Amino acid sequence: PPLLELRGVTRSYRTGGWFAPRQERQVLRGVDLTVHEGGCTGVVGPSGAGKSTLCRIALGLEQPDGGMVRFMGRAWGRDVRHGLGKDRRHIQVVFQNSVNAVNPRLTVERIIGEPLENFTTLNRRQRRARAGELLEQVHLSPVLLDRLPHRLSGGQLQRVCIARALAPRPRLILLDEALSSLDMLVQARVLDLLTELRRATGTAYLFVTHDVRLVPLFCDEAAVLTEGRVAPVDMRTSGQARA
Ligand code: ADP
Ligand code: ADP
C-alpha cells in the first residue's frame, strides 16, 4: 500500500518586488509521486527543477497550493504540521550538507538523541545507550558519542545523520541529495549501508538526487522531475544505460 502519496501537487512562488517585475513562478505543476511501504522511490532532476520544494512539501514543512498529499493513509490538513501530529516521527530526513544541518555545539550523542527526546519516552541514559546502538548500526564506533561534529569526516557525519534519522524508527526516510557532497568512494559505501539498512529495518525511502547514476543502484521505482513535472523512469533502460 502507498505510504506517501502526492497527487497533482502544485506550488508557485511570487518573485520580484522593488526592482524586478512581480511575477508568479510555478515551481511544481501537478506532481504525482508514490512511495510504497518499505519501497524506495527515486526523484531525479537538474538543479532548479523543484526538488527541494518537493522535499519540503513531502516533509510537511510547506503546503502545496493545490493537489493532495497523503501520508500513512491520512490527508494532510491545511495546517500541515498540525495535521501530521504524532505521525511526524514517521518521516525523517537526511540533508546534503550535514555540517549545516546539525548544531555544531552538540555532541554526536545529543545529535542522535534529539529525535529520541522529541518522539520517545526514553530517559537520558537510555537515549545514550540507544544512540550507541544506532552508531553501531551505521558501522561507527560508540566511541564517537562524545565527539563534536567538526571532529568527524564528511562520511562519518553523514552516517551520524543517517543514525539520527533511523532513531525514532520512522516509516519513511527522505534522502535530500544525501550523498551528493561525498566523494565517490564514500558515496558507494554509504549507499551499501543504506541498502543494508533497508533490508534490516523495512524503512521506505524517498531518494532525491541530481545524480541519475545513483538511482538504479538503490531505488525500485523512479521519476524524473523537470520544470515542475514528473515523468516515470524505466528502471531497466536506465540500468542498461549504466552498463
Ligand atoms: P531544486 O532543489 O531542484 O534545485 P528548488 O525547489 O530549490 O529546486 O527550486 C525550484 C525553483 O523554485 C527555483 O527557481 C527557485 O528559485 C524557486 N524557489 C524555491 N523556493 C522558493 C521560495 N521560497 N521563494 C521563491 N522562489 C523559490
Ligand atoms: P526490536 O524492536 O526488538 O528492536 P525490531 O524487529 O523492531 O526488534 O528490530 C530489529 C533490529 O532492527 C533492532 O536492532 C532494531 O533496533 C532495528 N530497527 C528496526 N527498525 C528500525 C528502524 N526503523 N530504525 C532503526 N532501527 C531499527
Q: Which residues contact 223 (CB under 8 A, 6 or more apart)?
A: 33, 41, 42, 43, 44, 230, 231, 232, 233
Percent above pLDDT 90 for the chain: 75
Cβ atoms of residues 210 and 177 within 8 Å: yes
Residue 183 has pLDDT above 60, yes or no: yes
Atom index in ligand 2 nearest the CA of residue 200 equals: 12
Kindly report the number of other CB atoms within 10 A of residue 114's CB atom: 18
- Can you state the angle between helices 124-137 and 108-119, rounded to 10 degrees? 120
What pLDDT, on the 0 to 100 scale, is given for residue 155? 93
Give φ, ψ of 59 to 5 degrees.
-80, -10
Q: How many CA atoms lie within 13 A of 228 on its CB side?
A: 13
Give the residue-averaged pLDDT of 182-209. Answer: 94
Separation of alpha carbons 170 and 149, rounded Å: 23
The pTM of this model reads: 0.86
Is ligand 1 within 6 A of the CB of residue 8? no
Lowest mean pLDDT among 21-25, 47-51, 91-95, 239-243: 239-243
The pLDDT tens digits for 62-92 are: 889 999 999 998 876 555 455 456 778 899 9
In the block, residue with C-alpha cell 504524532? 86
- Closest-lying ligand to the alpha carbon of 28? 1
Residue 179 has pLDDT above 80, yes or no: yes
- Closest-lying ligand to the alpha carbon of 56? 1
- In total, the chain counts a number of residues equal to 243
Give the residue-averaged pLDDT of 193-214. Answer: 95
Lowest mean pLDDT among 17-21, 111-115, 212-216: 17-21
Give the residue-averaged pLDDT of 95-116. Answer: 92
Mean pLDDT of the chain: 90
CA of 202 to the centre of ligand 2 (A): 9
In the block, residue with C-alpha cell 526538488? 51
Is ligand 1 within 6 A of the CB of residue 50? yes
Residue 132 has pLDDT above 80, yes or no: yes
Higher per-residue pLDDT: 99 or 78: 99
What pLDDT, on the 0 to 100 scale, is given for residue 240? 47
Q: Is this complex scored with an ipTM above 0.90?
A: no
Is ligand 1 within 6 A of the CB of residue 27? yes
Instruction: Please give the grid coordinates belonging to residue 110.
Output: 545529543
Residue 221 has pLDDT above 50, yes or no: yes
